[in-house]
């Protein structure tokens, strides 16, 4: 049996609901809908035989992981490399505000987030350089079985691109990742196989389209 890794985006926060940029510099908690998402994911995933549960160090990811960890009697193992992309001076701001106030920088980042970064933040290649070693750590620790990692939108999109041979600079154009969505990758001898992308079916219908980004 090979390793099957579930990459799950954290539940909804007020930042994600209102399209406010929320990167590594903001430790936003889950809102009420996000807490319901975390409980629903725990209920859906509890029957599976998890080898380990990993999380980004950010609160919203840990809060999403904790209900499943409690149900399974497992600890949440934190990996710093799973932390969300750094938005620098854009952290906490509405996208529309950034586009209005810094049109050139915003246009550059929209066009090529692989080469351009928000002021004081990370571009896609910088994020890949710290996220992929975290994935390698998980793979080194677990050669088979089921493992779940709770992370963030940009992190999961960039991991998918990197594993499938897509330019990570295209992560915003090629891969979607809703709050509470699961992406499933199997690491086979001949390379990674994507089983599911942006799957919100474990959530109840009223939370599958919870709004925001």
125 a catalytic residue: no
Average per-residue pLDDT for the chain: 97
102 a catalytic residue: no
Tell me how far apart the alpha carbons of residues 192 and 182 are, in angstroms, rounded to a whole number: 16
Domain architecture of the chain: domains with CATH: 3-208 (3.40.50.1240)
- What is the reported pLDDT for 119? 97
Tell me how far apart the alpha carbons of residues 208 and 180 are, in angstroms, rounded to a whole number: 8
**Cβ-proximal residues to 2 (8 Å cutoff; 6+ apart), any chain:** 143, 144, 186, 187, 188, 189
Instruction: Decide if pLDDT at 177 tops 80.
Output: yes
- pLDDT-based confidence at residue 162 (cuts at 50, 70, 90): very high
Which residue among the candidates 10, 18, 125, 195 is catalytic per the annotation? 10
- What is the reported pLDDT for 211? 76
Instruction: Give me the count of residues in the chain.
Output: 213
Tell me how far apart the alpha carbons of residues 178 and 212 are, in angstroms, rounded to a whole number: 9
The strand pairing partners of 149, in sequence order, are: 7, 54
Mean per-residue pLDDT for 57-80?
Answer: 98
pLDDT tens track for 113-130:
999 999 999 999 999 999
Alpha helix ranges (H) inside 73-200: 95-101, 103-111, 124-141, 153-164, 171-174
Which residue among the candidates 35, 39, 66, 84 is catalytic per the annotation? 84
Instruction: Decide if pLDDT at 212 tops 90.
Output: no
- What is the reported pLDDT for 78? 98
């Amino acid at each position: 049996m090979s390793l099957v890794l579930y990459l799950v985006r954290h539940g909804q926060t007020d930042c994600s609901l209102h399209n406010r940029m929320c990167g590594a510099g903001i430790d936003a908690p889950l809102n009420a809908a996000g807490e319901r998402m975390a409980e629903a994911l725990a209920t859906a995933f509890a029957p599976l035989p998890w080898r380990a549960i990993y999380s980004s160090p950010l609160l919203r990811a840990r809060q999403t992981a904790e209900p499943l960890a409690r149900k399974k009697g497992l600890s949440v193992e934190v990996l710093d490399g799973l932390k969300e992309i750094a938005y620098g001076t854009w952290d906490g701001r509405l996208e529309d505000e950034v586009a209005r106030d810094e049109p050139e920088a915003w246009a550059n980042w929209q066009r090529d987030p692989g080469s351009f970064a928000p002021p004081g933040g990370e571009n896609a290649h910088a994020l890949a350089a710290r996220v992929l070693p975290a994935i390698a750590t998980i793979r080194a620790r677990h050669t088979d079985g089921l493992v779940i990692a709770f992370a963030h939108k940009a992190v999961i999109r960039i991991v998918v691109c990197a594993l499938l041979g897509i330019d990570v600079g295209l992560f915003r154009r090629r891969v979607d990742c809703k709050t509470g969505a699961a992406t499933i990758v199997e690491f086979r001898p001949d390379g990674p196989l994507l089983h599911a992308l942006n799957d919100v079916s474990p959530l109840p219908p009223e939370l599958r389209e919870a709004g925001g980004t």
